[in-house]
Structure 1
């Protein structure tokens, strides 16, 4: 029922969002706001027209990315010749309309609304985590009175337990329903709703359970009061005590824009920044709450294995040992593996060092498609913003709900607007939107190419079809060739105006590694790196190969990273690096957009930026690199791959090159396997060294497992 209601709202929501997302409606009309002439899209609300005119109207329930509720009445305005005040969020503009946003009548009405809100609101600002960032505080300074006329006892509401991430104090709730609309419309899980009416109205889950959405933390940002706050850092700091730093999230491959708030040398919280081209203004829970993992299990000094134990050592001794073993190892026995969180600067520096040593065998920390010479073979070519234009979507071997939750919210938008249909090849899972399940194996791809499934006709008839392939599934035998055959059968998939053949990477460092020339670390399917006995293995934050037992026990292993995870446990020498919040570094997201983090806090102990460690090692090994500072390194990055330094820009692959890659895959003639396509992520909350070190993520994972056991639903069909 909730999903049907959300779909009915889809058209209205799309129109409301059009003004903010840059989409143009069919017609512009003239109207006046406080005497100022404004040309605004037909169907826009008065509050949107006022924003275009540079006039800010106070609001509590209205949010430009959510459906209209119109229940707080704080945005009342006067309309010329209208007998009553109107809610500007719910009133559409009309040609020639004249609106007044400030008058004595409006001020009196807003003061009345504020008095009603404060009548039941508790006076606990001194202990509320929302203090200093509270919309109700801000508006009460302008429209609040110095005393109230209500003598009745204040309303009290029982707090709700909705999981380990969001803390509730529901007595503060003003029933704006922003959280309800977000969970139903954007997240799509539908757990929150309202019960009761009038003074008995409450917001909560219909049954006692934790929120199952990977985007649940966004309701904290949406809440205009202190009813919903962050449970992991409750009472930890005040907003004015924090130092903000703009950065980029690396917990998934989307590269959501974030702000890191620190107090001294400690990260207190991570919140999203608005970027309509990438994450709009949302952030996945792992990117928001896993930051406490940056304080635990950190590597702070170099370590050298002595008599089977890792012992602290000076930087000079550790680097000399690594340099000696590197010089003593034949180049064809040297391997390097790039981890999920490796930044572009470190990747380029390490490649230059090993190339200078005669080594060319550089891999990544998971199987990947071997066709890495063409960028279109491993990037999200349709772009994240382009998802909204798709009218037929096929997901192959991917669960975007856990691999990139904010991207999955984008996929929900054409679903809500009823402008796209969906199908899945691979394991069935709850994606928060309806889809046709073609097959759990890659055989479904060939079935669609031959037109043996009903969705094949929809793909061929679509103006802008979109095929999203999981990077893990794309590495399976025959999948790339099968996808290429399907692409050849869908003429509109790859054109000059649209390239809908898109790969969804699962790691923040993967696209840059492939850009720079790192291939697969497991190319022949054996249990050793590249199938040969490597004698020197350099793990650049690569813990996966150690966890899977893919490192030869006889090899000399160097681990460079920031957490004492599986890679450090398997290493002979450990070199402590800096985490993404402790360095200025470049990460390339799944669509190929280069973005940069900034240093928010210093690295702990003797840890250093990764590229500086490699540069120091090059001197010790007698193979000095040609750059000594970050400017020189980035000049080298521009030579290796110009897109690495085109920060914020997208550089699409030409039609000719994209088709050349497809033709090459088709000619390979490789047949698909019979097994079920693998997914990249099993447990959303525990996927990398930061999240595995996070107590918050451990609690969230435990709550998820408990909920799954109680419902007794198979894991691949359970909302994660």
Structure 2
């Protein structure tokens, strides 16, 4: 630790800290534009000037100046104030006076710091420079005349997103930030450019001129577009969600949010189911809650329990799955499944189906093997963490990949191929990458659903787990065996045993003639083409998507923004989202719908409100007691079948990143992104 005195206040900061960090530790506010906690230091805006006592150069930029023991820093002298006023004056020379129409108004760093640290008037009378706006795609709107060349956007694209598509051209007063090609930027994290921009040069294109920041009400929630469990803030005006922003959580998403979670919000109000429907004479007609509840109750009573099936979808909250499971248990129904894709999981230990190293733990690993997983499409925020570790200067981070490489992963990898028998080669110690894995102190394996949805998934999983134990991926002090999910509801479903036992039907059997009554709880990513024509389908969900078209009864539910729900991310972390708005029309929260049906059947569920439901959930499955904590358990050994792995190549599970669920498919913005960037990039990573 280094002792620094800031305005007479002694503080201890770690070695290598900057003067700016020391000032913040002392509780001093330091203005800045180019500095960002998650990006490299540029030191080019000069707004963070402070005075160093006894230095030959008394004024220094605090973000780029390392601390020294005994250093005395002054943050509010006349010299410092004059320097900040002059810097602000220079920054405002060419900045347009368009605050009344700028979407950044009310939360603009330049606006705030001009008031706090600028002059009352400008001494410059020259004409302002105008800069041509640039095309960055359908999500980010540019007004480049406002740009102050802080280079945050360039550093974000180079360091976090991993697609170096922005840079500066010309020099001096003619400097412009521009994309290298006027074809838009190709990253799933482009919306974060809006967050890092300190002025209004980069704003959200889909919601331009629709709101002011002070009009919005904030509600904390969890993103359900993938399995990362990104912490988000829902910003609402009236009954409409107008903006979704990331919430800081260094254990999960740091301060980033994927584009699908940020911009698919227009899908929340399109193609919505806002009233009950029932099929009569081959056509769906509107009806009342009383009628659909009675019809569902009668159907459940009249159908044999072994011919009733229930499938939970990828966007479900834990409460709705738990309530539906309770109802089915009382009816004696055991055909339950939360796996629309039919993926295989070893549920004997929780550590066999979660991301054990944790997302933050990626930064501790020193080697990585990915099998049937492509994080850039399946979990872009987690992929950014892998890139962060790869860029680390502390030690090298070799990465090997087995599977279909559909795009540049944004970091250098050793592509071993698409053949799953390469796992056997690794077990036999036949590949060059074996030496790296064997010498690593904290090796990590990520197995994805490209490997888990195959017919031989059980064998692949067993051999991958055996490889993990053999090379030291799982030890007393380190657990680097990770399953990467792509569905927000999957881990919660596995935790509460929402899957069939040995004598029950799985999702595939249910939709291929195994049921007379099929209840789909927000399940839209399953093929119903082989479902028997006389099978009675109950669809409970919030969008008129694929499954609703086949339904005989539609129970309108609530989207994740319209209910308080518990979600478990891929690492097994329990998190809760809060309701921001009410469901539209006559739609209701899912667990309340299930409770009403239970009451009509004279089934007494042991809860009448959300608190009681969560209490019952935690009592039934203790893993739900601890919020925000990751506690997993693994076996110490594994038995491997004598069968051989099929030579069929691993294939990517996501064909179009922007259209993976009912909300994103209802979003015009996501469809525009799909058209602009292509359904599935064929660009291969450079060897």
Please indicate the TM-score interval, normalised by the length of the shorter structure. over 0.9
**Which residue number in structure 1 is paired with residue 645 of structure 2?**
672
Question: Which stretches in structure 1 are left out of the alignment for 5+ residues?
Answer: 1-27
Contact map agreement 1:367 1:520 (CA 8 A) in 2: no
User: SS where residue 400 of structure 2 aligns?
Assistant: strand
Distance of 2:68 and 2:682 partners within structure 1: 52
2:317 aligned with 1:349, yes or no? no
Match of 1:73 among 46, 55, 58: 46
**How do 1:366-381 and structure 2 match up within 5 A?**
366-381=341-356
**Which residue number in structure 1 is paired with residue 524 of structure 2?**
543
1:551 Cα offset (Å): 3.3
User: SS where residue 446 of structure 1 aligns?
Assistant: helix
Match of 2:440 among 459, 462, 465: 462
1:642 Cα offset (Å): 1.6
1:81 Cα offset (Å): 1.2
1:242 Cα offset (Å): 0.5
Contact map agreement 2:665 2:671 (CA 8 A) in 1: yes
2:421 aligned with 1:443, yes or no? yes
> After superposition, what is the alpha-carbon deviation per residue over 1:123-144, rounded to whole angstroms, capped at 9, x for unaligned?
0000000000000000000122
Moved more, 687-696 or 325-334: 325-334
**Which residue number in structure 2 is paired with residue 236 of structure 1?**
210
Using structure 1 for the length normalisation, give the TM-score: 0.92
1:441 Cα offset (Å): 2.2
Match of 1:149 among 123, 128, 149: 123
Contact map agreement 1:77 1:99 (CA 8 A) in 2: yes
Distance of 2:309 and 2:210 partners within structure 1: 44
Contact map agreement 1:481 1:671 (CA 8 A) in 2: no
Distance of 1:262 and 1:526 partners within structure 2: 37
Q: Residues 156 and 191 (structure 1 numbering): CA distance in 2 closer, same or farther, change over 3 Å? A: same
> After superposition, what is the alpha-carbon deviation per residue over 1:570-610, rounded to whole angstroms, capped at 9, x for unaligned?
11100000000001110110001111111101100011000
Distance of 2:507 and 2:593 partners within structure 1: 31
1:520 Cα offset (Å): 6.7
User: SS where residue 667 of structure 1 aligns?
Assistant: coil
Distance of 1:375 and 1:170 partners within structure 2: 50
2:514 aligned with 1:533, yes or no? yes
1:532 Cα offset (Å): 5.2
Contact map agreement 1:381 1:591 (CA 8 A) in 2: yes
Distance of 2:645 and 2:528 partners within structure 1: 24
**Which residue number in structure 2 is paired with residue 513 of structure 1?**
493
Contact map agreement 1:299 1:563 (CA 8 A) in 2: yes
User: SS where residue 319 of structure 1 aligns?
Assistant: helix
Moved more, 81-90 or 378-387: 81-90
**Which residue number in structure 1 is paired with residue 682 of structure 2?**
714
Contact map agreement 2:335 2:505 (CA 8 A) in 1: no
Question: Which stretches in structure 2 are left out of the alignment for 5+ residues?
Answer: none
Distance of 1:610 and 1:630 partners within structure 2: 11
Moved more, 66-75 or 367-376: 367-376
2:610 aligned with 1:630, yes or no? yes
User: SS where residue 246 of structure 1 aligns?
Assistant: strand
User: SS where residue 103 of structure 2 aligns?
Assistant: coil
> After superposition, what is the alpha-carbon deviation per residue over 1:199-243, rounded to whole angstroms, capped at 9, x for unaligned?
111101112111101001001011000000000100000000011
Moved more, 174-183 or 200-209: 200-209
Match of 1:221 among 195, 199, 204: 195
Moved more, 694-703 or 450-459: 450-459
Match of 2:586 among 603, 606, 611: 606
Q: Residues 158 and 442 (structure 1 numbering): CA distance in 2 closer, same or farther, change over 3 Å? A: same
Contact map agreement 2:47 2:87 (CA 8 A) in 1: yes
Distance of 1:556 and 1:581 partners within structure 2: 30
Distance of 1:332 and 1:200 partners within structure 2: 74
2:9 aligned with 1:36, yes or no? yes
Contact map agreement 2:334 2:501 (CA 8 A) in 1: no
Match of 2:278 among 293, 298, 304: 304
2:470 aligned with 1:489, yes or no? yes
**Which residue number in structure 2 is paired with residue 560 of structure 1?**
540
**Which residue number in structure 2 is paired with residue 169 of structure 1?**
143
User: SS where residue 514 of structure 2 aligns?
Assistant: coil
1:639 Cα offset (Å): 2.3
Q: Residues 671 and 125 (structure 1 numbering): CA distance in 2 closer, same or farther, change over 3 Å? A: same
> After superposition, what is the alpha-carbon deviation per residue over 1:664-690, rounded to whole angstroms, capped at 9, x for unaligned?
xx3333432111113221111000000
**Which residue number in structure 2 is paired with residue 11 of structure 1?**
none
Contact map agreement 2:219 2:579 (CA 8 A) in 1: yes
**Which residue number in structure 2 is paired with residue 358 of structure 1?**
332
Give RMSD over aligned pairs.
1.8
> After superposition, what is the alpha-carbon deviation per residue over 1:155-191, rounded to whole angstroms, capped at 9, x for unaligned?
1100001100000000000000000000000110110
User: SS where residue 544 of structure 1 aligns?
Assistant: coil
Distance of 1:445 and 1:366 partners within structure 2: 23
Match of 1:432 among 410, 422, 428: 410
User: SS where residue 368 of structure 2 aligns?
Assistant: strand
Distance of 1:551 and 1:385 partners within structure 2: 43
Using structure 2 for the length normalisation, give the TM-score: 0.96
Q: Residues 347 and 119 (structure 1 numbering): CA distance in 2 closer, same or farther, change over 3 Å? A: same
Considering fraction of residues, name the structure with more helix: 1
Contact map agreement 1:135 1:224 (CA 8 A) in 2: yes
Q: Residues 356 and 525 (structure 1 numbering): CA distance in 2 closer, same or farther, change over 3 Å? A: closer
User: SS where residue 114 of structure 1 aligns?
Assistant: helix
